[in-house]
A and B are shown apart, each in its own frame.
Chain A
Amino acid sequence: MMPPEPSGSPDPSLRAAVADIDRLRRSRAAVSVVSTCAPYVAGTGLVLALASRWFGWSWVVLAVWLAVALVALVAAIGWGRRHLAVSDAAATDIDTRAGLGGELHSAHWFAAHDAPHATGDEEPGRWATFHRAKAASRIASIDWANLYPPVRAARQWMASGALVAVAVIALVIGPRSNAAILASQGLTAADADMAARDMLPEDIQKKIDELLAAIKSGELTADAARLKVDEIRALLDKLNATTAEEAKRQAEAAKNAQPGGEKPNDDEGDKLTKKAEELADSSAGLPEDVRWSIDDLASRLANSDASKRETNKENAAASEKTGEKGAGSDDAAKAEMGEAAGMQMVREAASDAAEGQMMNGGGGAMGGDSRPGAGGNQGGNGLAEMAALKQALRQEMIQAQADLLGQTVDTEIRRKTEQSQAKVGFTRMATPTSFDRSRAALPPPVPEAHRSLLQRYFLRRQ
């Protein structure tokens, strides 16, 4: 619908022509805006599709979004193409675009209004008519379709289409959350929780529940919660260790049942003891406490190894003589138990990364022989433990070197107090002397040549 012409409009054809141009201009602008927005809308659709897939929302969400977006884009184009009365600003815009130097703008106004104080054949009226006619002919001579060319946005449209296609594909094969998977199988989160509970021993599950309840209620501090978590983790590790131990025992039993089964090799233990001694020797130059702990660890490893070998030999000899299982057999069995316990301790310690390794390696003066079975003749398992010991020792050496360089905070403080020299500066301040008038000198006498000038100067100033 064209807007109604103002009453007495002297040139409706010119107004209609300008209105058509304005409509063309607006529709091109709308298409341009829509083509710019379309990829973003499609991109949003893709995000929505991924979210739908992940959270298990219905495909209807994406479908509704795309439908609404499409309707909005089409509506925007339609809104741009609607019939409107041409404003002065729009006329100015068209005029500027066509380079008409204000002629269209002015003529458009005169097409709706007569020249002031003049109508019909009077001179000002003739001038206005002439102006309109000239403007109309100029407007007709311009190729407006060329001036407002169709919007070329193939890339934007293609990108939008591709994004919509990807969104649809993502809705079908995109990644899904566990909740979404359970939901698709008709299960709830509570069902999944129950299944997980069945896999844990009751006491551990109880502890976890208690811990969760305490955290939720806010009764636990962060440190206390961390300790609890460590405790539960240790229990879980124990559980794993027990499972592994059983499996190992079964394997050992199967191996012993075989007639040509190999005996544990004592040479491995010797090698490890030697390595510990070498490390102790190479620790010269380290701080005293570190050197002591390494020496202690080496000696304990050596003693433990030697005593165990002797006991085993004696027991073996007695059994051969009596044909019975005596104390030697019990010791051997104990040694086996000790080996198993040692493994367990290693696992416990290993759960706490570096700290655990340090404990295992006898990092402190008190930690050398506290573990049952440590340093025994353990064959293959002893190798694993010794590797951990070696790593712990290396780390301790690195730390010891760092101490020497003064990079550890505690050491640095100690070194500062031992080595640094304090500097105390003193500033001497002289007490102010009182002014001695007798020592004051008289000002120099005024030269006779200047006397008159000075007098004149002060006289004039007065």
Chain B
Amino acid sequence: MPTTVEQHIDHFQEHFVKITKEVGRRIVGNEELVANTVTSLLAGGHVLLEGIPGVGKTSLVHTLADVLHLKFSRIQFTPDLMPADIVGTNIVQEHAHGGTFFDFQPGPIFANVVLADEINRATPKTQSALLEAMQEMSVSVGKTTYKLEQPFLVLATQNPLEMEGTYPLPEAQLDRFFFKLKVVYPTESAMHLILERTTQATTDTVERVVNAEQILQMRHAARLVPIAQPVQGYAIRLTLGSHPLSPYATPMVKKYVRYGASPRAAQAMVLAAKIHALTQGKAFVSPEDIRAIALPALRHRLLLNFEGEAEQIDTDLMVKELLAGVSVDA
């Protein structure tokens, strides 16, 4: 158990490297994706993974659960999936001595790491069943509220190509995701490694490097990192700049955005920046840390207007323009 600040930083850095390294044994390339997923876990947030089929989204989540020594469950979202299939339901049981009673059978949401595969294929009613769990870390069935075990992390995946028969996530649900990460197609050299690792007789096994308690300690340490007000102000200006009527708004934002990022975006940026700073061995947050995590924290929180939708504007471009346009100094 670390006692001094220096020990906290070393402990954090050491475990972070261990996790990413271990996940990297199975997931080839995408180091930034792995680091951001772990950052999200340590910040207590949820991740929306977006990518075409076959690029390793589900594998990443599986591997992460293996490495973290956490309880893992997977929900395959389909149009006929019901909320009770996610949160669980009360079933009638019989006592041994006679009589019946309701017994709660917990659904797959009761796990530490939940993979919500192809989340946009389920109906909005089922999708919204995740809302309370993601935000409150608790589930209400009937009159009873059940607390979810910590750490709790939802990793949802969605395919950006097949949009027919899907239910795009509403803005309120999108905002609940700490990060939206894009799983990019592997490079040629990464493809070589993938083939070498997956087409041979032996498969790589990963070790469990951290447990739930260590993750909670890391979460606590991340929140202790001090952030100077000018740096915090930079994160706030970036958030405000995503609104078209803000004085910090860039030309693209003014033209294509209907509604900008919520205060959750600023929270996500500051918390993620603290974790990023700790991974760099620093006891302070710098504007560079904010810049490093601004893209995954903001890209899904910009609501495009009709013009933006019609022109299929990539929100990544807008965030990059914001980073270039908003000054670090007030």
| Interface residues, chain A, with chain B CB atoms under 8 Å away | 88-89, 92, 101-103, 105-107, 109-110, 113, 115-116, 123-124, 126-128, 130-131, 134-135
Interface string of B227-240 (1 = CB under 8 A from A): 11111000000000
A105–B283 touching, CB < 8 Å? no
User: Within 8 Å of chain A (Cβ to Cβ): is B201?
Assistant: no
Whether A127 lies near B283 (C-beta < 8 A) is: yes
Check if B228 sits within 8 Å of A103, measured CB to CB.
no
Closest to B327 in A: A89
Q: Could you give, for residues 284-301 of chain B, a 1 whenever the CB lies within 8 Å of some chain A CB and a 0 otherwise? A: 111111000000000000
Inter-chain contact A131/B329, CB cutoff 8 Å: no
Find out whether the CB atom of A131 lies under 8 angstroms from the CB atom of B288: no
| B226 CB contact (under 8 Å) in A89, A92, A124 | A124
Q: Is B6 a contact of A106 with CB atoms below 8 Å?
A: no
B182 in contact (CB, < 8 A): no
Main secondary structure of the interface of B (DSSP, over half): loop
Residues on B with C-beta less than 8 A from A103 are 282, 284, 286
Please tell me if B330 contacts chain A, counting CB pairs below 8 Å. yes
Q: Tell me the smallest distance from the CB of B97 to a CB of chain A, in Å.
A: 54
With a cutoff of 8 Å between Cβ atoms, the chain A residues found around residue B5 in the complex are 126-127, 130
- In the complex, A102 Cα to B234 Cα: how many Å? 13
In contact, B329 and A109 (Cβ under 8 angstroms) = no
Q: Does B225 contact A (CB under 8 A)?
A: yes
Please give the distance in Å from B309's CB to the nearest CB on chain A.
Answer: 35
B224 touching A107, Cβ below 8 Å? no
Q: Which of A102, A123, A130 contacts B286 (CB 8 A)?
A: A102
Which one of B283, B286, B330 has the greatest number of beta carbons of chain A within 10 Å?
A: B283
Q: In the bound complex, do residue B230 and residue A105 qualify as a contact, i.e. CB atoms below 8 Å apart? A: yes
Query: Measured between alpha carbons, how far is A123 from B286 in the docked complex, in Å?
Result: 20
Tell whether B212 is near chain A: CB-to-CB under 8 Å: no
- What distance in Å separates the Cβ of B26 from its nearest Cβ neighbour in chain A? 32
Residues of chain A with a CB closer than 8 A to B283's CB: 127, 130-131, 134
Q: Is B148 an interface residue (CB 8 A)?
A: no
The residues of B with any CB-CB pair to A shorter than 8 Å are: 5-6, 224-231, 282-289, 328-330
Q: Is the CB of A106 within 8 A of B228?
A: yes
Choose one: A92, A123, A126, A130; the contact of B328 (CB below 8 Å).
Answer: A92
Q: How far is the CA of A130 from the CA of B226 in the complex (A)?
A: 10
CB distance from A102 to the nearest CB of B (A): 3
Q: How far is the CA of A123 from the CA of B8 in the complex (A)?
A: 11
A101 touches B230 (CB 8 A): no
Q: A88-B230, A109-B229, A113-B229 are in contact. Are A102 and B288 (CB under 8 A)?
A: yes
Contact A106 B286 (CB under 8 A): yes
- Nearest first, the 3 closest Cβ-Cβ pairs linking A and B are A102-B286, A109-B228, A130-B5
Known: A88-B330, A126-B5. A101 touches B228 (CB 8 A): no
Give A107's nearest chain B residue, CB to CB: B284
CB distance from B299 to the nearest CB of A (A): 24
Establish whether residues A102 and B229, one from each chain, have CB atoms under 8 Å apart when the complex forms: no
Chain A residues within an 8 Å CB radius of B286: 101-103, 105-106
Determine how close the nearest CB of chain B comes to the CB of A124; give it in whole angstroms. 6
| CB <8 Å contact, B229 and A128 | no
Chain A residues, CB < 8 A from B231: 102, 105-106
Q: Beyond A116-B229, A130-B5, list 16 extra A-B contacts (CB 8 Å).
A: A88-B230, A88-B329, A89-B329, A92-B328, A103-B282, A106-B226, A106-B286, A107-B284, A109-B228, A109-B229, A109-B230, A110-B226, A124-B224, A126-B5, A127-B224, A127-B283
Describe A's contact surface by its main secondary structure: helix
Q: Which of A89, A106, A113, A126 contacts B284 (CB 8 A)?
A: A106
Report B-chain residues with C-beta under 8 Å of the C-beta of A123.
224
> What is the bound-complex CA distance between A123 and B225, given in angstroms?
9
- Please indicate the chain A residues that have their CB under 8 angstroms from the CB of B225 in the complex: 127
Q: Report the separation of the CA atoms of residues A137 and B276 in the bound assembly, to the nearest whole angstrom.
A: 23
Alpha-carbon distance A134/B6, docked complex (angstroms): 10
User: What CA separation (Å) do A236 and B30 show in the bound complex?
Assistant: 99
A127 contacts across to B, CB distance below 8 A: 5, 224-226, 283
Pair B230/A115 contact, Cβ less than 8 Å: no
In the assembled complex, the CB of B225 is this many whole angstroms from the nearest CB of chain A, namely: 6
Which residue of the partner chain B has the closest CB to A134?
B283
Q: What are 27 residue pairs bridging A and B, where the CB atoms are less than 8 Å apart in the complex? A: A88-B329, A89-B329, A102-B285, A102-B286, A102-B287, A102-B288, A103-B282, A103-B286, A105-B230, A105-B231, A105-B286, A106-B227, A106-B231, A106-B284, A107-B284, A109-B228, A109-B229, A110-B226, A110-B228, A110-B284, A113-B229, A116-B229, A127-B5, A127-B224, A127-B225, A128-B226, A130-B6
Q: Are B285 and A106 in contact, CB atoms less than 8 angstroms apart? A: yes
In this complex, the member of B6, B224, B225, B330 whose beta carbon has the largest number of chain A beta carbons within 10 angstroms is: B224
When the two chains form their complex, are residues A101 and B226 in contact, meaning their CB atoms are under 8 A apart? Answer: no
Bound-complex Cα distance A105 to B231 (A) = 9
**Min CB distance, B274 to chain A, in Å?**
10
Query: Shortest Cβ distance from A31 into chain B, in angstroms?
Result: 25
Residues from chain A with a CB closer than 8 A to the CB of B230 are 88, 105, 109
A107 CB to nearest B CB, Å: 7
Please name all residues of chain A whose beta carbon is closer than 8 Å to the beta carbon of B288 when the two chains form the complex: 101-102
Q: Which residues of A contact B329 (CB under 8 A)?
A: 88-89, 92
Residues of A within 8 A of B287 (CB): 102
Closest chain A residue to B233, Cβ basis = A88
- Chain A residues with Cβ under 8 A from B226's Cβ? 106, 110, 115, 124, 127-128, 131
Chain B positions within 8 Å of A130 at CB level: 5-6, 283
Residue picked from B230, B285, B289, most chain A C-beta under 10 Å: B230
- The distance in angstroms between the C-alpha atoms of A131 and B228, with both chains bound, is 11
CB distance from A128 to the nearest CB of B (A): 5
Which residue of the partner chain B has the closest CB to A115?
B226
CB A444 to nearest CB in B, in angstroms, measures 48
Q: How far is the CB of A208 from chain B (nearest CB, A)?
A: 71
A365 to B6, CA, bound (A): 116
Chain A residues, Cβ within 8 Å of B228: 105-106, 109-110
| Nearest CB of A to B124, in Å | 39
CB distance from B195 to the nearest CB of A (A): 39
Query: Which residue of chain B lies nearest to A101 when distances are taken between CB atoms in the complex?
Result: B286
Complexed CA–CA distance, A115 and B226 (Å): 6
Chain A residue contacts of B282, Cβ below 8 A? 101, 103
Question: Which residues of chain B come closer than 8 Å to A109, judged between CB atoms?
Answer: 228-230
Contacts of B289 in A (CB 8 A): 102
Which chain A residue lies CB-closest to B225?
A127
Report A462 CB to chain B, min CB distance, Å: 34
Interfacial chain A residues near B330, Cβ < 8 Å: 88
How many angstroms from the CA of A112 to the CA of B285 in the assembled complex?
17
What residue of chain A has the Cβ atom nearest to residue B285's Cβ?
A106
A99 to chain B, nearest CB (A): 12
Contacts of A128 in B (CB 8 A): 226
CB distance from A105 to the nearest CB of B (A): 7
For residue A89, give the distance in angstroms from its CB to the closest CB of chain B: 5
Complex: how many Å from CA A131 to CA B277? 12
Question: Residues of B contacting A102 with CB < 8 Å?
Answer: 231, 284-289
Bound: A130/B9 CA distance, A? 11
A126 CB, nearest partner CB in chain B, Å: 6
Determine how close the nearest CB of chain B comes to the CB of A97; give it in whole angstroms.
Answer: 15
Cβ–Cβ < 8 Å partners of B284 in chain A: 102-103, 106-107, 110, 131, 135
